[in-house]
Structure 1
Amino acid sequence: MSRRAPGRGLAIGVIQIITIICQVLTEDPRFAEPIPNVTVALGRDASLPCVVEHLGTYKVAWIHIDRQMILTIHRHVITRLARFSVSHDNAMTWLLHVSQVQQEDRGYYMCQVNTNPMISQVGYLQVVVPPNILDSDSTQSAVAVRENQNTSLVCRADGFPAPKIMWRREDGQPISVDRRKKVTVYEGEQLSLQRISRTEMGAYLCIATNAVPPSVSKRIIVDVEFSPMIWVPNQLVGAPAGTDVTVDCHTEAHPRAISYWVYDNVMVLPTKKYAINTEENSYRAHMKLTVRNLQGADFGNYRCISKNSLGETEGSIRLYEIPMPSTSPKATEMKSNANKESARRANQTRAPTRSPGTERPSVLRAQLDRAPERDAQQVYRPPHLHSVSGGRQLRCWRQPFLVVILLVHMDLIV
């Protein structure tokens, strides 16, 4: 018995090993991991993996559940759609490839193993679509409306997920909503503009977005029509003859107006005499007329006229002559030497009469020294026999006195 024991144990071990191998070889297939949900943009390529363990001799098939269509069985493509294919990268993973994905490819895909009973698992292919504006269902690219009337702008778009519609003004100005509030961005397919004004004229952008790039937009031009208006900054303008002068008018009109100048019932045309310049900005225009080298015939009434299909208006400017200022003579400083001359003459006549022991010359000198001050202050003094304010009066007093002295002296000699 002891001799048979080792052989029997070896046999049992071999049998156990064979049993385990058989169990492994005959184990049923199972899925190692679930099929992930895949999201792909329209027109791109996508792949769905199916990982199967212990496949053995069983086969894997792919089925599009939504269309109830068998796509592949094992390594063979069953569908006639060339965009579908299958690959087997290793012993466990089977990949379903979809090239240039279309919207109809969206849905549930089943990976199936033909066991008994059948086993399967399902994954979802999501196809997202960038937004697309439907021009046929949206407002045309240009709209014209009369001022103070109502209008609505419509913008519709498709895509997946459903896109959101936003409105903006191209110039960045706010949008008036129900005339009560203003917003920078308005959401919704329809934008209503109540009692529209000329300030709301311009381009409106309809923007469609759904988080799938790229976003798209449509540009709608809103024209607000109104008859011309004119504003004259200065209705009365003056200028001297021989100079140049410029008069101007501001106009507003839509559709675009025809603007021109009229003087003496004649249209003013650009010449050497007249220079005409018009600066336009949207529905506004600034008209300027320059008249060169003004002459008498150039003064009068000038009219700026603006007209379009809805009406006509005009402004009037009166151009008058300003006299040229007369040239005033230059003021010259006149310095009079009368005081200096009188003082000089007084000094000359004072020397011969000066005698020792008398104070009269000192008194005369003081009076003469003050004479210029009196002249400067324009003080009037009546004539006096004993006045010594001037050299002429002093000489007149001295001459008879000398004659008397001479006659007395001659009598004494005789």
Structure 2
Amino acid sequence: MLQVDIQKELVFYFFSLQVDIVPSQGEISVGESKFFLCQVAGDAKDKDISWFSPNGEKLTPNQQRISVVWNDDSSSTLTIYNANIDDAGIYKCVVTGEDGSESEATVNVKIFQKLMFKNAPTPQEFREGEDAVIVCDVVSSLPPTIIWKHKGRDVILKKDVRFIVLSNNYLQIRGIKKTDEGTYRCEGRILARGEINFKDIQVIVNVPPTVQARQSIVNATANLGQSVTLICDAEGFPEPTMSWTKDGEQIENEEDDKYVFSDDSSELTIRKVDKNDEAEYVCIAENKAGEQDASIHLKVFAKPKITYVENQTAMELEEQVTLTCEASGDPIPSITWRTSTRNISSEEKTLDGHMVVRSHARVSSLTLKSIQYTDAGEYICTASNTIGQDSQSMYLEVQYAPKLQGPVAVYTWEGNQVNITCEVFAYPSATISWFRDGQLLPSSNYSNIKIYNTPSASYLEVTPDSENDFGNYNCTAVNRIGQESLEFILVQADTPSSPSIDQVEPYSSTAQVQFDEPEATGGVPILKYKAEWRAVGEEVWHFKWYDAKEANMEGIVTIVGLKPETTYAVRLAALNGKGLGEISTASEFKTQPVREPSAPKLEGQMGEDGNSIKVNLIKQDDGGSPIRHYLVKYRALSSEWKPEIRLPSGSDHVMLKSLDWNAEYEVYVVAENQQGKSKAAHFVFRTSAQPTAIPANGSPTSGLSTGAIVGILIVIFVLLLVVVDITCYFLNKCGLLMCIAVNLCGKAGPGAKGKDMEEGKAAFSLCPGPGGLASEPSQFPHLETPKGPVEAKSESQETETKPAPAEVKTVPNDATQTKENESKA
């Protein structure tokens, strides 16, 4: 019997209804909506699913704000719309089976008031200088903590005593300034919920207007139908409005448009000024913060006016011509003269009496004597008084016979095209003709001649075919005043004479030859120099061409590839367009013995970033022995030296980066060969001033954050380690996987790895670099050096055939050493 009861209980348990509410709990802020799903598990049919409110009242379907919807036989949805505080409590979902059995589930719904801003208007306006109180009322279920921020910083951290947070959480700014204007953030926080909300309030500081007259006294011209403008410059915020008074009476726009105001009324224009307009004018600037005024006194006078000028025409060498200028004005104006290039004083008179100025009352005259063609041009008459000035131009036209200019002697050679230039100055314009032996050019006898004319010159293009084309050419210009001729000579160019060698400065493997340019260039520029040299006793001359412009700058050419302690002969020749000139007398010199090299020549080129520099190393004499390397050290003045840098012999520059801003640096470079070190080459430079940082315009959410980038780099590094470890396991039977296999599985991989470890050899190897030397890691991360061998081979090493790679050992300081280096030590 007991067994039967137990079986019934088990059957009841397995067939009873199971009720769940999703989500199992709910938290809603006031005004938000949320739904809850009641789900029933079990096979019972004709189930009834009901929802009950926290006060035990059964909720009916399809209510407006708290809605219950029967989804199907096994679920029902409770939806709370626009929740308020009264909706909080425990809601119950009850499921009644066909047999009357009930199952239920509950959900605790909590309603809270989110942090909101009740009274925080924006913008809020204040008058500059007053104590401003920025209003911000915050409401929430729990008392919030209020923080005020300006420009991203807590205002309290500014340590400005003018900023005070009042007991009601309003922000007070004592004696507010225009610079305090901007966006202030009222930020509320509730620690218990981790809730935060903020309101940005625009604070506007109104500034009382200030007004200043552009001119306190204004002079105006009367009875000339002119206008005068009175200007006041006003500042303030908001922008002040302007009004004007005359002798205390308000000025209004009149029908006759006597007074005209600008759009902002800062300018008052008085039209057709007369004597009655003379008065005191006041401009008044006004805005919501206050008002201010400024006075302008208008004085009405007569401005000067040029009433008579007249252009003049004269012939060159004419006895004299007079220019006259008359003017009116009150006070009586003074009259001055000037040209486009010079001023002429009122009492000017040159020693030869060429210019004479005379003035009387309102008339002034300028007399020019013995007229020259250079007197032609613009003459400006200016009348001035205390009110203003007026200027008028007049023109003196000087007619003269043509005048010709140009290089008389022109050099060329057969087959080389050349222009003979005949510059012409004439008024009126002249007609230009070319003649050869009295025959007008061009002609059928001179087919190799062309003529090109411009307003100021004529060009005779000649391509000599033979010696007959050299000689005299005549340029003749004619106008109605007269004519002028100029003879040009076309001279056959010759090859240059020989340069003269002044001195030879020999070194071990190079020599500098100082020379003087040829006395005769042959009439055309020298293009190149040819240097020839040979050892005494040899027959073959070695040679090299040098650009004439570069060689002439210092008067030096350098010959290279010489042998130490050897006597040489050197000679020079110059080349122009005609050909190679005479060769100079040979000068003998003896190179120096093998020695230390000469210091390299240094040239600097600043980087675009302003704090880096490329120092070019220009190799000089190597002392007869190949340069092994360059040693570079540098520092900012009054600072410690940076670690010495060793550059390969093939390097032609060193890059210095990440230097201090606006600092003076010095660089020392030494070249070293087997004989020793050269003297130090010295170079000084200054870095640029640090540029102003420009903030990025991108949004704060654009791109990857620093943490994301670091994470990606860590993942890549771990993956590389795993790949390397797997490779070591399968190829060399070593690594972390190998260690796990041996210790956990008892498997020892075949191979020489264990043997190497027993013998104490390094568990890694370094690949030898060029020349069998191991490549060293760079000790100078801020320096870029050209690619090349770490150390140049000596002559004895170059004669060896295929040396074996150097063995690399590991030492405690992680430096790499070679057997070769050990033997040298």
Taking structure 2 as the reference length, the TM-score comes to: 0.28
**Which has the higher relative contact order, 1 or 2, with Cα contacts under 8 A spaced 6 or more apart?**
1
- The structure with the largest helix share of the pair is 1
Quick check: which has more Rg, 1 or 2?
A: 1
- The structure with the largest strand share of the pair is 2
